[in-house]
Structure 1
Amino acid sequence: MSADPQGDALESPLDAQHDAPSGSESKLGAPLEARRAEFRDQVAIAREHFEEVNEKIKQRTGRDLILAVLSGLVLAGVVLGALLFVPTVFAAIVIVVSGLATFELARAFETGGRKVDVWVQIVAAVALAATGYFGTALWQLWVMTFAVVAVLIVWRMVAQMAARDGRTYGDVLADIAAAGFIPIYVPFLLALVLVLQHQTNGAAWILTFIIVVVSADTGAYAVGVWIGKHPMVPRVSPKKTWEGFAGAATAAVIAATLLAYFVLDLPLWAGIVMGLVILITATLGDLGESLIKRDLGIKDMSSWIPGHGGLLDRLDSLLPSAVATLALCYWLTPLVGA
C-alpha cells in the first residue's frame, strides 16, 4: 500500500506546531532551569564544604564523623529499644556483647604478645554475664567472678606447662595477669548492668547512665574539636584536652540533673552528684582503655563498628560507669520522691 505524501505534508506542519513550545512556556522554563542549576551548585558547594570539615575532624580525632553518627544512632536505637520494650532481649544483647567484647580483648592481648585461651575466656564471659541476669543476689555474681578468675588462671598455668615453649618467667606472669584481668574488665562489669536492670526502676537507671555517658563523650568531642588546645594526658591519649573535659563535665551534669529529676524522681542535687561521679568514671574508663591500647601498640580494639572501632572502644566509658551507677542506685533510691 503506497504512502500518501499529501497527507504527510498536511500533518507534519500541524504536528510541528503542536509540539513546539509556546513563547510563554519558554519564558517560564528559562528562569526555572536557572534556579535548578543554582540549587545544584549550592548543594555541590555545601557537600564540598562538609567533606572538607569532616576530613579536618577525621585528621584531628581519627574518626569519620558521618560513619560514627550513623552507626551510633543504629546501635542506640537497637539497645535502648530493647531496654525499654523487650527487657529479655536487652539482657540477651548484653550477654552476647560480653562474649564478643571478651573475644575482642583477648585477640588484642594476643596481638600484644600475650598467650590467651580465647575460647575458654568467651565461655567464661557468657557464664559470668548470664549470672548477672539469672542470679537472685549480688553475692552470687561475686562468687561466680572469683570462681571464673581462679579457673582461668589455673587453666593458663596448666596450658603453659603443657606447651613447654620456653617462655620467660615474666611473660608467663603477664599471661596469667591477662587471664585474670579480662573477665573482671569485661563480663563482670557488664553483668553489673544486668544486676542494675533488676533493681527498682532499673531500666530508667540504665537509660540515665547511658545517656549521661554519651552526653559527656559528645560534649568532650564537640568542645575538644572546636577549641581544644591544652592536652589532658598526652602520653596516654594525645587528642584529649582540658577544654574537652570541661565540655564533658558541662554536658554530663546537665544531662544527669534533668534525667534524675524528670526520670528518676530524685532531687536536683542528686543529679549533680550523679553527673560528676559518672563524668569521673567515664573519663577514667576512656583513659584506661587508651592505656591498654597504647601498651599493646594498637589504635582500635577492632574495626567492627564503622567510625568507632571496636566494641570496647564504645564500652570503655560505660563499663566503670555501671559500677558507679549501681552504687548510686543503692544509695539514692531511698530518696525517690523526697
Structure 2
Amino acid sequence: MTQPPDASPPPPEDGARHGGGASLFGRRIRDRRADIERQVQAQVQATKAQLDATNEKIQQRTGRNLIFAILIGLVGGALLLVSLIVVKEIFMVFAAALAGFAGFEFATALRIAGLRVPRVALTVVGVVLVPAAYYLHASGEWVVAIAGILFLWLWRIAEDVSPSRRVGGPALVRDLVASALAILYVPFLACFSVLLVAQPDGQWWTLAALIVVVSVDTGAYAAGLSFGKHPMAPTISPKKTWEGFAGAAATALIAGVVLAIFMLHAPWWFGLVFGALILVSATVGDLTESLIKRDIGIKDMSSWLPGHGGFLDRLDSILPSVALAYVLYVIFEPLFS
C-alpha cells in the first residue's frame, strides 16, 4: 500500500535558516544604531541650546560675546608671548601696529563728539613713536612725542585752511588740544611697553604686568558675574561692582606674589606692591576709557574685535599699567640684581 506524501514543507537549507537570523540581527543592529544616533543628536542640540542660553545671559550681563572674546584673547595672547620671548624686535612691530590701530580708532571715535583729530597723522605718529622709544629710549620718546604733537597741529591747521573743513576759533583750539591728548593717551603710553622690553630682562617685567592686568580683568569678571550687587561707579560704568573689584584685588595680589618670586626673582613683598599698584592702574585706566566713551556717547571704541569692541577697549587697562611697570622697574630692579 502506497503511503501518502508528507504534507509538511521540507526543512530549510542551512543557509536560509542562518540568513533569516542574520537579517533579523542586522535590522536590530541598524535600529539600535539609529536610536543611538538620535539620542546623541538630541543631546548635542540640547547642549548647544544650553551653551547658547548661557552665553546670551552672560552677554546680557556683561555686554560681551564670551566665545569670540575668549578666542580673540587666546590668539592675541599667543602672538604676544611669541613676540616677547622669541625676539624683542617682533614685539616692537606688534606694539607699533597696535598703537597705530588704536590711534586711528580713537581719532575716529572723537569725531562723534565733534572733535576732529587727524586720523592718518595720528596713526603715523603712533607707528613711528614705538621704534623711536625702543631704539632711542626715554629721551627719544619725549622728543618724538613733542614732534608728533607739532606734526598733528600743523596737519590740523592746514586742514582748517580748506573752506569745507574750516572751523576756526575755539573749535580749532579744541581740536588741537584733543590732538595732543590723543598722542599722550594712546601711542605715548603704549611706548612704555617697548621702553621696558628694551631693558635687560625687561620682557619679563612687561609680561608680568600684562599677566596681572589679565588677572585683574578675569577676577573682576568672575566675581562680578557671580556675586556683583553693589555698583562701583554707576554713572561711568554700570556693570562694574565692588564685589568684582574685590575679586580683582585677590587675583592681582596672588598673581603679583607668584610672578615676583618665579618670574622677576624679587621678594614676595614686592609682589604685593606690584599687584596692588597694577590693580589701581588697571582699574583707573578702565574707568578712564569708560568715562571717555560715556562722554562721546558710544559703547565701544569700534567693532574691529568681536566680543571685545575695539583695540583701545582691550588696551585701556594695559596702557597705564605698562607705564607704571616701567617706573617700578627703574626703581626696584637695581635693588634685586
User: Is TM more than 0.5 here?
Assistant: yes
- Equivalent residues in 2 for 1:1-338, closer than 5 Å: 18=19, 21=22, 34-135=35-136, 137-163=137-163, 167=167, 169-336=169-336
Distance apart, 1:44 and its partner CA: 2.6
Distance apart, 1:323 and its partner CA: 0.9
C-alpha offsets along residues 42-63 of structure 1, whole Å, 9 cap, x if unaligned?
3332222221111011111110
Could you tell me whether the CA contact under 8 Å between 1:266 and 1:335 is conserved in 2? no
The 3 A distance-change label for structure 1 pair 15 and 238 is: farther
Distance apart, 1:28 and its partner CA: 6.3
Q: How many residues align?
A: 325
C-alpha offsets along residues 79-112 of structure 1, whole Å, 9 cap, x if unaligned?
2112111322111111111111111111111122
Q: Which amino acid aligns with 1:70?
A: L
Could you tell me whether the CA contact under 8 Å between 2:231 and 2:239 is conserved in 1? yes
Could you tell me whether the CA contact under 8 Å between 2:107 and 2:182 is conserved in 1? yes
Cα distance between partner residues in 1 of 2:281 and 2:105: 22
Q: Which amino acid aligns with 2:289?
A: E
Distance apart, 1:237 and its partner CA: 0.7
Cα distance between partner residues in 1 of 2:93 and 2:247: 34
Cα distance between partner residues in 1 of 2:161 and 2:38: 74
Q: Which runs of 5+ in 2 are unaligned?
A: 1-13
The 3 A distance-change label for structure 1 pair 73 and 165 is: closer
The 3 A distance-change label for structure 1 pair 158 and 65 is: same
Cα distance between partner residues in 1 of 2:28 and 2:151: 84
Q: Which amino acid aligns with 2:171?
A: D
Distance apart, 1:163 and its partner CA: 4.1
Could you tell me whether the CA contact under 8 Å between 1:131 and 1:140 is conserved in 2? yes
SS of alignment partner, residue 282 of structure 1: helix
Name the stretch that deviates more: 224-233 or 148-157. Answer: 148-157
Q: Which amino acid aligns with 1:124?
A: V
C-alpha offsets along residues 236-288 of structure 1, whole Å, 9 cap, x if unaligned?
11111111111111111111110111011011110010001000100111111
The 3 A distance-change label for structure 1 pair 42 and 149 is: same
Cα distance between partner residues in 2 of 1:322 and 1:200: 16
The 3 A distance-change label for structure 1 pair 26 and 231 is: same
Percent identity over the alignment is 42
Q: Which amino acid aligns with 2:290?
A: S
C-alpha offsets along residues 154-179 of structure 1, whole Å, 9 cap, x if unaligned?
43234325548663643222211111
Cα distance between partner residues in 1 of 2:217 and 2:279: 9
Cα distance between partner residues in 2 of 1:60 and 1:263: 35
Distance apart, 1:334 and its partner CA: 2.3
Could you tell me whether the CA contact under 8 Å between 2:100 and 2:123 is conserved in 1? yes
The 3 A distance-change label for structure 1 pair 238 and 16 is: farther
The 3 A distance-change label for structure 1 pair 294 and 26 is: same
Cα distance between partner residues in 2 of 1:253 and 1:153: 43
Could you tell me whether the CA contact under 8 Å between 1:117 and 1:156 is conserved in 2? yes
Distance apart, 1:234 and its partner CA: 0.9
Cα distance between partner residues in 1 of 2:220 and 2:55: 17
The 3 A distance-change label for structure 1 pair 159 and 34 is: closer
Cα distance between partner residues in 2 of 1:17 and 1:171: 95
When Rg is computed on C-alpha atoms for both structures, the one with the higher figure is 2
Cα distance between partner residues in 1 of 2:167 and 2:56: 45
Cα distance between partner residues in 1 of 2:138 and 2:178: 25
Cα distance between partner residues in 2 of 1:60 and 1:77: 28
Normalised to the residue count of structure 2, the TM-score between the two structures is: 0.89
SS of alignment partner, residue 22 of structure 2: coil
The 3 A distance-change label for structure 1 pair 19 and 150 is: farther
